[in-house]
Chains A and B, each alone.
Chain A
Amino acid sequence: MYALSIENLTKTYNNGFQALKGIDLDVEEGDFFALLGANGAGKSTTIGIISSLINKTSGNVSIFGHDIIKENKKAKSNLGIVPQEINFNQFETVENILLIYAGYFGISRKEAKRRAEKALKQMHLWDKRDTVSRRLSGGMKRRVMIARALIPQPRLLILDEPTAGVDIEIRRSMWEMMEEVNKEGTAIILTTHYLEEAENLCRNIAIIHEGMIVEHSDMATLLSYININHFILDLDKPLQRPPEIPGYQFELASEKVLTVGIPKKNTLNQLFEQLSTYNIQVKSLKNKSNRLEQLFMDIVQ
C-alpha cells in the first residue's frame, strides 16, 4: 500500500489559473521523498490538497488507501503537516500548542502530555515548553511546528520547506531529526529549495514544473542522468585564456579561477594529467553546483 497515492489531480483556481494539470504520484510506505519545483510550480497547491486546506478540482488523493474526501477522518489521522508559514497561535505556550493540537485528534490529555514531552525533547524544545511561542526565534517556531505534526504519530509526514531561513546548525539538527523520524517508519515528503538537502536525505524524488510532474524516479537513477560534472579550479598562476583540451569544457571565470565540465567517463586524474602538460597547477577544487541542482535546472528549463 502506498503512503500517498495521487491520480490525475487537477486544480484550477477561481481566477482561472491552472495550478495542477493532472498529477500522478505515488509515495511508498516508509519512504523519504523529495517533491521539488520552482516557486509557483504547484508544490504548495499539491500539499494544500493533500492536507484538505485546498479543494481539488478533479482527481483522487488517498493516504494509506483512504480517500481524502470519502474517508477524510481516516486519511487525516495518518497525516502530519509542517507548513511553510507559522500557523499556530502565537499567544499560546509551546506545550499548550501541542496539547490543543492533540485534542483535535481526540488524544486524551494524559497521552497528549506524554507525546508532547517526547516531541519537544526530540526537537530540543523541552526547556521552552512554558514559553509563549511568539517569543521564540524563527528556527524554534519551525521546530514547534514539526513537534506539533508528530503529536498524532502520523505515518505520513509532509514538510513544506522546513529549513527555509534557518541557520546551518539548526538545519543540520533538523536533518538528523527527519532521518530519525523516517527510521521509525514514518514516510516523509520533503519540499525544499536546498537541493543538497534533498540529495542527501531523500531516496525518491519528483520534480513538478508548471503544474505537471516532469520527473519521478529514485534519486540514484536521476543522478545517473548527469553526464557532465562541473568543477571550479583555483589556480596557482594566472591564465590569459582557457586551455583547449579535447573532451573538456573550460571557462575562465577570472585570471586564477577556471571552471571545467568533465564528462562522466573521464576521471579527475586524467584531467590533472592534461592540465600538467599545459603547466597549469591546481591549488584546490570544488563542485560548481550541487549535482541535483544542475539536473533540476536542466529538467525545468
Chain B
Amino acid sequence: MNTLIALYTITHKEIRRFLRIWPQTLLPPAITTSLYFLIFGRLIGDRVGAINGVSYMDYIVPGIILMSVISHAYSNVAASFYSTKFQHHIEEILVSPVPNWVILVGYLSGGILRGLMVGGVVALISLFFTQIQIYDLTIILVTAFFTATLFALAGFINAVFANSFDDIALIPNFILTPLNYLGGVFYSVSMLPEIWQHISRANPVLYMINSFRYGFLGISDIAVELALGRIFGFIILLTLICLSLLEKGIGIRD
C-alpha cells in the first residue's frame, strides 16, 4: 500500500472538484468583496477617518481578505465531505486501506488551497481600491495558512455531524459570520468598552485577523506570537478531534 499515492488521489480529487466549478467557487468572493471595499472602504470609510494611524480602507483590507479565506476554507471541506457522505462515495474510501490521517489531510488540502486562492483573488481586487503594503510577508503567509487549516478542520467536523445540507449552512450563518464580524474586521477592539474587549478576546477570529493585519500594516491589538500560538493550539486540538471522529467512525459508519 503506497500511502502517498492515496494521499495524492484524494488531494487531486478535492482540488479538481473546486477548480472544475471555479465560477461558483472562486468568482463570487471577487464580487462580494468589491462591494465591501466600495461601501465600507470608500463611501463610509472616508467619514470614519484613520484607525491606529492608517486609513480605514487600509485597515479593513487584511480583515476582509482573511474573512474570505475563513469562509471558503470552511465551506469547501464541509460541502465536499458532506456530499461525499450524502452520495455514499465515502464508502469507496472506507472499504479501502487508506489511513485516517490521509483522508483528513486529503480533504483539508482542498479547503486550504481554495481558501488561499480566494484570499489571493480578494487581495488582487483590493488593489483596485488601495495600495497594499506588506510589513512582514512571513507572518501574512503563516497566518493565512494556519487560518485556512483551522477552518478547514472545523468544516470537516461540521460535515461529519451533518445530517442534511441545512446542517452545513447552519454553522456558517449562525456562528462563523458573527465571529468574523465581531473579530475586528471593521474596527479595532481598543475602540470597544473594556468589558467588550475582554469578551472579544474569547473570539479566535480576533487573533487571526490581528496577526494577519500585523503582517500588512505592522499594527495589532494582540501580541502576534500569542495570536499564532493560540491558532496553532486550536489546529492541534481540532486535528485530534477529527482523527478521533474518523477512528470511531462517527457520522460515517453505522
Contact = CB atoms under 8 A, between A and B. Distances in A.
Given A103-B9, A104-B93, A106-B2, A89 B87 contact: yes
Interface in A216-260: none
A79 B95 contact: yes
Contacts of A100: 9, 13, 92
A72 B89 contact: no
Contact of B8 (A72, A79, A81, A103): A103
B201 interface: no
Contacts, number: 80
A76 B253 contact: no
Interface string A80-96: 01010111111000000
A55 B1 contact: no
Contacts of B9: 100, 103-104
B230 interface: no
Nearest to B3: A106
Interface string B8-38: 1110010000000000000000000000000
Given A87-B88, A103-B8, A54 B253 contact: yes
Interface string A11-23: 0010000000000
B1 A106 contact: yes
A105 B96 contact: yes
Contacts of A101: 92, 96
Nearest to B98: A104
Contacts of B96: 76, 101, 104-105, 152
Contacts of A152: 96
A51 interface: yes
A77 interface: yes
Interface residues of B, number: 26
A107 interface: yes
Contact of B254 (A55, A83, A89, A106): A55
B6 A106 contact: yes
A69 to B, nearest CB: 11
A277 interface: no
A52 interface: yes
Interface string B235-254: 00000000000001100011
B160 to A, nearest CB: 15
B53 interface: no
Interface of A: 13, 48, 51-55, 72-74, 76-77, 79, 81, 83, 85-90, 100-101, 103-108, 148, 152
Interface of B: 1-6, 8-10, 13, 87-89, 91-99, 248-249, 253-254
19 contacts: A13-B254, A51-B91, A52-B94, A53-B254, A54-B253, A55-B254, A73-B99, A74-B97, A77-B97, A83-B91, A87-B88, A101-B92, A103-B8, A103-B9, A104-B9, A104-B96, A105-B6, A106-B1, A107-B2
The 6 closest A-B pairs by CB, nearest first: A103-B9, A106-B2, A104-B96, A73-B97, A87-B88, A76-B97
Given A81-B91, A87-B87, 16 more contacts: A52-B95, A52-B253, A53-B91, A55-B248, A73-B1, A74-B97, A76-B95, A77-B1, A81-B95, A83-B91, A103-B9, A104-B10, A104-B97, A106-B97, A107-B2, A108-B2
